Amino acid sequence: MKRKLRKTPFILLGFFLLLWLVGISLGEPTRVLEQAKSICLECIGIG
């Protein structure tokens, strides 16, 4: 069976890494952390 390096996963990883870095540069992790630290009553079906 021939072996050949698959490039698609690396392209996808690069793309999503870029998205991730854009999110960080926009300060999104702070917002995500704020949300995750508090109980989301709506999320658990209350409120």
What are the tokens at 23?
Answer: 């999110």
What are the tokens at 21?
Answer: 């870095």
Q: How far is the CB of 27 from other proteins (least distance, A)?
A: 7
Q: How far is the CB of 11 from other proteins (least distance, A)?
A: 9
Distance of CA 39 to the CA centre of its chain: 21
Q: How far is the CB of 2 from other proteins (least distance, A)?
A: 9
Residue ranges that bind other proteins, judged by CB under 8 A = 1, 3-6, 8-10, 12-13, 15-24, 26-29, 31-33, 35-37, 39-47
Long-range contacts of range 33-36, CB-CB < 8 Å, 24 or more positions apart?
A: none
